[in-house]
Structure 1
Amino acid sequence: MNYISRTLTYKDKKDNPKSITDNELLNIKQSVVILAEPGMGKTSLLEHLNNFENTNKFTASSFVRRPLGRLKDIGKSIVLIDALDEYQSQVSSNPIDDILNKLFELGSPQFILSCRQIEWSESSISSIKDYYDKEPIITSIQPFNRTDAITFLNENEKFTGDTEDIIQRLDEVNLSNFYESPLTLELLTHINTKTLPDNKADILNLATQNLWQEVNNQAPNHLKKTGKQTILECAGFICATLLLAQKQVVFTGITAKTLDQALNIYELKSMYSEELLLDTLKCRIFKSSGDSQSFKPMHRTIAEFLGGRWLAEIMTDLVTKKRVLAQVIQNGGVVSSLRGLFSWLPYFNPDLAQTVIETDPYALIAYADTSFFTDRHSRLMYDALQRLVKVNPSFRRENWNSLKAKGLANKSLLEEYRELLSNKDSDYNLRSSVIQILQDANFVEKLSNELITIMLEDDRYYSERFDACLLLLEKQIDVDWSTILDNLTDSRNEDNLRLVCECIMKRDNYHLISDEQLIRLIINSQPLKKGVTFDSILTPDMGSYYYFETLPSIRANNLLELLTIAIEDLNISPYEANYSSSKNINGLVFLFLKKYLIDNNSVDPQVLVRSLTFFYHNQSDLMEHDFQDYSNFFTFYFAENTTLRLAVQKLFLGSNDVHGRFFQIKDSVLSALYPSINETLSLLTYVQKLEDSQHNKNIWKDLL
């Protein structure tokens, strides 16, 4: 299937969020780090970039191990280094040091490096700066949106379901995060989507149940004779051993030719037969890696899931438990490359839950599944997170994608959550995490007062306020939205107005907001006078009409009238008007006008002319190219509606400066209303029939 282009985000020197496409990464003249959750497409992105000239891709492990002599030709290329999180240094506490040493020996070429978000260490930024004199640009891969997900499934030959239906059902059960990841979408192609589960573990389980057969469906299927359960058990053993040994591939050649990064299959014969091990590598859980004798799991997440299940099932006695934990937990913490494997243990063996929760609580949320939690597990996890934020307040680091932890959406923690959310001095990371986790809760209405307070307090972080607002909306909690929106729109605070734009308008919740509140939002977001400045989310650069695109057309007429009145009440002369804001207001006028024209079979020319009052006074150099889409629409519309166009032109004659009025629109967005020669003759005839007054004589002269 074709690669789907990705968008990444990063923060500039002023800490402002910026977006960049995958191809544009190659144009940045400094090093880049790509962070993302497992399965978000880091490897695919780097493989895509490797198709361009002057790039060379390696895994972190192979790059460090490769002799300099075999790397001498890449010093002037962009080095693409994948899977830092899978590399475990033998000499340094931070794996990035080995990478940087090798890059230094090559002349410090520009590099793009990928890593799991949760495994990235902030100290690595300083290390890179020591070698390159500049901090790297830290980017995050943006999740797939609905369009990306539909394209992905439609282009996947294995998927035979209804793409629109599956995406819609995921939205309906609050599982949109399942289609945001390429890996999860890939797994959906291997399961019966009519019985779609509602948690990560069940999706992985169903997928692996369908991945155990041979890659080549036409080949003699030895695996069927062996049986699904035996194959999955053997696959789990191979995955667990591969991960614990911190190797990259399974090698099926002779032992003497086994490379350092490989695990030889014949070393595993003590647990399973040679025939079963080799047959298992033929199933779709594994894929070829470079040559016919090297294999690796189709994805690390699958390996961690199956490996975790196999380990959990053998960790039933104290001796085995101690031996496994000794390999995974070192110096009081989990070996970074084994956190995913470790986090799946309690799902398959609840007796291990307390150990895992107390050792690495966030890994269990980020990598595994908490749907098996009892009340006791939920409380253990919440207590562990509270301890975690005291020693590591930034435990989420750059990982601010929506958090899902069904096991913590537990009513037994209601009062603890109330206390946490009420206290704005409590830890922000924990507070924000809990708000996101509550998406799976059935008791959100009992916390509505706390959530409303968070939403209205403008000294809180915007992301926290946004999540609180979104939670109330998506859970359809019955609150007084009229009063809430009065508070937010009766303000010039950027975050207050942004909250309305992003939660109410952009998410089609127009039924909650009145026309008067919308007008207040528009006026309060615009510094309409020169010399007046304040922060505004409705900036011309973003296009304020972006937030009004889904406005119901039936409301356009009234909004045009109210906006005209509100601007007239401000009594701002053309010489005092702020150009940028004038352009922005005009953009909204054009949008409302377009919606009004489309929605009405019988258009009142008076409404149209009156709505253009602000345009006449403040249009300045708003030419056709400023709003090309609107210009094209008006040209087509008035070409089809000549009677209305002439009626509007006649109303223009009421101006004190008819020549100036028509001259203003000649090369503007409204050039479609400029009279042709024949229309001018019609207007002259019309004026000649009017009362014989000096005003009408002046109009006649202007037309002539």
Structure 2
Amino acid sequence: MHDREQVKIAADDALTDARLAGRPLIVLGEAGSGKSELLRHWSDGNVATASQLVNGWLPGPGRNFVDGLDEAAGLKDGDALDRVLGALGAQRSADFVLACRVADWRSASAKETIKNWTGFVPVELNIEPLGRAEIVAFLRIREGFDAATAEAFFEHYGQRNLTEWLGNPQTLVMLADLAREGIRPNTTGELFSLYVDRTWREHRKQASPLAHAAEDEVLPALGALFAALIVGGYDALTLAPGAKRLGSDLPLGECRTLPGVAGLSDGTLQGFLDSRLVIRAGQDRYTYQHRRIGEYLGARWLARHARTRELRQRLLRTLQHGDIVPSGVRGLWGWLATDAQLAEAVIGTDPLAVIDYGNADDLSPNAARGLLRAIEVAEDRNEIFGWREYRAAALVQEALKDEVERVLSVPGDKRFWTQLIILRQMRDRETVARHAVTLRAIMLDEARPYPMRDAAADALADFGDLTDWPAIIDQLANGTNRDSLRLALVMMLNANVGLTLSDAAFAETVYAYSGLTPRFTSSREVGTVAHYHRGQRQAISDNRLDGLLNAFTDYASRYRNDSDWSAAWDIDQLFYALLERRLALRDIDPEALWRWLNASDDRHNSGAREELARIDRWLEANEKVRRALQRKVLETCVEKPRSLRWRMGEVAPGLLPTLDDVVALLEWLPDADPRWQEVIWFAPRRAEGQAAREAAVRHVHTDEDREILRVHADPPPLDWERKEAKRQNVDCH
């Protein structure tokens, strides 16, 4: 989120979170991830587009929400941002939210531009993909699937390693529509082709010309209109008269000469706008159902009509700004690579557009080789890649085996992005088997950057046939740099690997990675251990809990001190999450629980407040164990009985005695044990504490003892009681 901080925040909390107050917000996400929907939700539908601002639309007072920064076509990306900021009056107010496709956001330069305008560094809010539970809920609520069908749908794509598709809401809707007909595509191109072919005829009106139209009439017409919108940087087609048009709208009449549109009657053309591939954007305004659909059909139409070499060159020049493809047309550009005549030039100019927006899963061997070379050239030019999902399965087809091995053999980080993109395509057993030796070497090479090693290890764990994972994990856990420990911890979360280390070795690895053992003391890192907060149930079985809790307790006594609480934050969260799981299994040995609860002397500074609160509630509900631990606390306070109350709360607030606990403790103490003088004060005063005073009688032998019981039975009024009595003019006794 911030320059040096990443945090998770719920969408409904972002606008009110104090950490974000007064700063410009940038919503980033993949195409179809829900950026526009989120802005509409936040603004109650009051969203402007970047194209509207660029075309003279005046923003209103208060916070402004601007969608489609990447869609302001025809301008260099920096120019578009400057013009949007100028229209917003950003030099006077930083109270705005911009949305942009993550692949087209130039983070460093764009953030600096916004800071220069506003004086504030903007906050980047990245929309996370839907998780499994959210995907299933989406399918059930939005798409009407029953629970079993939704789970089976997820499993189908999970088995094919296509779950990143499901994390994108727009792709999920398309897949769900096709699933109703029993169709489950495997590539991006197949998905869009099947979806468009089955959706174009669906219409909103009873008597629509679509009912009698042919596909080769409707799709070329819509492709022409969508291409005109995108290339021209317009938001919508309009039928409105001139006085009522927005500056960002394209009059439908201006498209009448386009191939595929020319010759259609007004009624027929307007009937085509009734297709489900088109949505209404207001009174007499129409646009594509989703920009990705518009880009796909627009690119098909452009390629179809660029049949000569001269026309192809003219098309590509038109879509470029100098040597750059502006962000507003990169989606079109990416799909143009599916045309054999355009592929070489398109891929060579902007290979990442083909990966981000086109169909890089299904290229011919020659086109795939061209894509690989173009990625290497882009990396040599220091082009910005960025952390996102790269889908380009064509790069690892069998025909490119030697080229892939050549790239992966480059040591260090000279070919970092090219190698990482290749490694992320290792999604099936055949591909991983072809490169298994190289993948293993990368995984174990401590000179390689961590993301490379992680990607190689993921491929081997998910699709490899390795039988020596215990030895591999042991080698990593005993590595000479922190990355090796990190990789060992991450890989043990994989269900195909599991927790192969012994209890003591796992605890040592966690402590060493966190910088709390002598192995790594130059700096301290947190983060990786946090993965176990979410995934520890699949990695750590119930029968490992006692041993791991004992091991963590041993290492805490060996390496923890009062100044380590921040470095041990993640460790505490994991430890108390495991302890909470162990309590749920019952049959708790109080002696073991006593050791575990005393593992940390600084539980109040840990990051496990929710887990600790639930542990306290468990203690409150389990009398037998609670009283055994209360007696343990008393045993530690023989020399300093006055520390009893502090010690009871320090070990666990859930141990604080009830009246019945006080009676039991007083009956347990030997006669005249001085600790009774502290225990009695846990009981309520006056009449409510009579049972405790009766249990304490056998300890009373001196005037001091009797005075304690008298004060307990009739304590002096507290300040608030005295003030209230004075106000009411009564004797507070």
SS across alignment from 1:115: strand
Which residue number corresponds to residue 214 of structure 2?
227
- Residue 526 of structure 2 contacts residue 567 of structure 2 at CA under 8 Å; is this kept in 1? no
1:637-669: CA deviation from partner (whole Å, max 9, x where unpaired)? 774573x66677788898794986976763356
From the superposition, tell whether residues 394 and 699 of structure 1 become closer, same or farther in structure 2 (CA, over 3 Å). same
- Residue 63 of structure 2 contacts residue 96 of structure 2 at CA under 8 Å; is this kept in 1? yes
**How many angstroms does 1:295 deviate by?**
0.6
From the superposition, tell whether residues 35 and 598 of structure 1 become closer, same or farther in structure 2 (CA, over 3 Å). closer
- 1:34-433 to structure 2, matched below 5 A, reads 34-51=27-44, 57-66=47-56, 70-71=58-59, 73-74=60-61, 77-89=62-74, 94-104=79-89, 107-121=92-106, 122-156=108-142, 162-193=149-180, 194-216=182-204, 219-254=206-241, 260-270=247-257, 271-274=262-265, 275-291=267-283, 293-347=284-338, 349-391=339-381, 393-396=382-385, 398=386, 400-422=387-409, 423-433=411-421
Question: Separation in 2 of the partners of 1:89 and 1:100?
Answer: 17
Of structures 1 and 2, the larger Rg is shown by 2
SS across alignment from 2:137: helix
**How many angstroms does 1:287 deviate by?**
1.0
- Residue 615 of structure 2 contacts residue 654 of structure 2 at CA under 8 Å; is this kept in 1? no
Q: Where do 5+ consecutive residues of structure 2 fail to align?
A: 680-698, 700-733
1:504-533: CA deviation from partner (whole Å, max 9, x where unpaired)? 237685354443431222332456699978
Question: Separation in 1 of the partners of 2:77 and 2:600?
Answer: 64
From the superposition, tell whether residues 502 and 654 of structure 1 become closer, same or farther in structure 2 (CA, over 3 Å). same
Which residue number corresponds to residue 609 of structure 1?
591
- Residue 201 of structure 2 contacts residue 276 of structure 2 at CA under 8 Å; is this kept in 1? yes
- Residue 589 of structure 1 contacts residue 611 of structure 1 at CA under 8 Å; is this kept in 2? no
Of 523, 542, 545, which residue of structure 2 is paired with 1:553?
542
Code of the residue aligned with 1:342 in structure 2: it is W
1:463-484: CA deviation from partner (whole Å, max 9, x where unpaired)? 3333232222222441632233
Question: Separation in 1 of the partners of 2:383 and 2:392?
Answer: 18
Question: Separation in 2 of the partners of 1:383 and 1:528?
Answer: 45
From the superposition, tell whether residues 135 and 458 of structure 1 become closer, same or farther in structure 2 (CA, over 3 Å). farther
SS across alignment from 1:418: helix
1:571-616: CA deviation from partner (whole Å, max 9, x where unpaired)? x7x987855678876665544444344446xx363xx414533644
**How many angstroms does 1:51 deviate by?**
2.6
Question: Separation in 2 of the partners of 1:474 and 1:614?
Answer: 35
**How many angstroms does 1:32 deviate by?**
2.8
Code of the residue aligned with 1:420 in structure 2: it is V
1:402-445: CA deviation from partner (whole Å, max 9, x where unpaired)? 21112112233333333333311422222221211223573323
**How many angstroms does 1:535 deviate by?**
0.8
- Residue 432 of structure 1 contacts residue 467 of structure 1 at CA under 8 Å; is this kept in 2? yes
From the superposition, tell whether residues 339 and 671 of structure 1 become closer, same or farther in structure 2 (CA, over 3 Å). closer
- Residue 609 of structure 1 contacts residue 652 of structure 1 at CA under 8 Å; is this kept in 2? no
From the superposition, tell whether residues 584 and 146 of structure 1 become closer, same or farther in structure 2 (CA, over 3 Å). closer
- Residue 569 of structure 2 contacts residue 606 of structure 2 at CA under 8 Å; is this kept in 1? no
Code of the residue aligned with 1:374 in structure 2: it is S
SS across alignment from 1:288: strand
- Residue 288 of structure 1 contacts residue 296 of structure 1 at CA under 8 Å; is this kept in 2? yes
**How many angstroms does 1:558 deviate by?**
2.4
Does residue 435 of structure 2 align to residue 447 of structure 1? Answer: yes
**How many angstroms does 1:499 deviate by?**
3.0
Code of the residue aligned with 2:224 in structure 1: it is F
**How many angstroms does 1:91 deviate by?**
9.5
Which residue number corresponds to residue 30 of structure 1?
23
Question: Separation in 1 of the partners of 2:607 and 2:568?
Answer: 16
From the superposition, tell whether residues 395 and 620 of structure 1 become closer, same or farther in structure 2 (CA, over 3 Å). closer
From the superposition, tell whether residues 590 and 128 of structure 1 become closer, same or farther in structure 2 (CA, over 3 Å). closer
- Residue 94 of structure 1 contacts residue 124 of structure 1 at CA under 8 Å; is this kept in 2? no
1:176-219: CA deviation from partner (whole Å, max 9, x where unpaired)? 111111211222343225321111122222222332235426x2
SS across alignment from 2:458: helix
From the superposition, tell whether residues 682 and 140 of structure 1 become closer, same or farther in structure 2 (CA, over 3 Å). closer
From the superposition, tell whether residues 527 and 376 of structure 1 become closer, same or farther in structure 2 (CA, over 3 Å). closer
From the superposition, tell whether residues 641 and 109 of structure 1 become closer, same or farther in structure 2 (CA, over 3 Å). closer
From the superposition, tell whether residues 92 and 508 of structure 1 become closer, same or farther in structure 2 (CA, over 3 Å). closer
- Residue 67 of structure 2 contacts residue 100 of structure 2 at CA under 8 Å; is this kept in 1? yes
From the superposition, tell whether residues 582 and 246 of structure 1 become closer, same or farther in structure 2 (CA, over 3 Å). closer
Question: Separation in 1 of the partners of 2:663 and 2:632?
Answer: 16
SS across alignment from 2:79: coil
**How many angstroms does 1:288 deviate by?**
1.1
- 1:525-564 to structure 2, matched below 5 A, reads 525=513, 534-537=523-526, 545=533, 548-550=536-538, 551-564=540-553
Code of the residue aligned with 2:397 in structure 1: it is N
Does residue 456 of structure 2 align to residue 472 of structure 1? Answer: no
Aligned-pair identity (%) = 22
From the superposition, tell whether residues 634 and 493 of structure 1 become closer, same or farther in structure 2 (CA, over 3 Å). farther
From the superposition, tell whether residues 564 and 11 of structure 1 become closer, same or farther in structure 2 (CA, over 3 Å). closer
- Residue 31 of structure 1 contacts residue 136 of structure 1 at CA under 8 Å; is this kept in 2? yes
**How many angstroms does 1:90 deviate by?**
6.4
From the superposition, tell whether residues 235 and 680 of structure 1 become closer, same or farther in structure 2 (CA, over 3 Å). same
Instruction: Please report the TM-score for the alignment, with normalisation by the length of structure 2.
Output: 0.78
Q: Where do 5+ consecutive residues of structure 1 fail to align?
A: 1-9, 689-693
- 1:589-628 to structure 2, matched below 5 A, reads 590-599=576-585, 603=587, 605=589, 608-610=590-592, 612-613=594-595, 615-616=597-598, 618-619=600-601, 622=604, 627-628=609-610
Question: Separation in 1 of the partners of 2:111 and 2:646?
Answer: 55
Does residue 502 of structure 2 align to residue 510 of structure 1? Answer: no
SS across alignment from 2:48: strand
- Residue 432 of structure 2 contacts residue 464 of structure 2 at CA under 8 Å; is this kept in 1? no
Question: Separation in 2 of the partners of 1:450 and 1:352?
Answer: 34
How many residues get paired?
664
- Residue 340 of structure 1 contacts residue 368 of structure 1 at CA under 8 Å; is this kept in 2? yes
From the superposition, tell whether residues 441 and 313 of structure 1 become closer, same or farther in structure 2 (CA, over 3 Å). farther
**How many angstroms does 1:166 deviate by?**
1.6
**How many angstroms does 1:155 deviate by?**
2.8
Question: Separation in 2 of the partners of 1:657 and 1:544?
Answer: 39
From the superposition, tell whether residues 657 and 417 of structure 1 become closer, same or farther in structure 2 (CA, over 3 Å). farther
**How many angstroms does 1:258 deviate by?**
5.5
Code of the residue aligned with 1:388 in structure 2: it is A
- Residue 565 of structure 2 contacts residue 606 of structure 2 at CA under 8 Å; is this kept in 1? no
SS across alignment from 2:451: helix
- Residue 209 of structure 2 contacts residue 268 of structure 2 at CA under 8 Å; is this kept in 1? no
Question: Separation in 2 of the partners of 1:565 and 1:410?
Answer: 50
Question: Separation in 2 of the partners of 1:235 and 1:223?
Answer: 12
- Residue 92 of structure 1 contacts residue 98 of structure 1 at CA under 8 Å; is this kept in 2? no
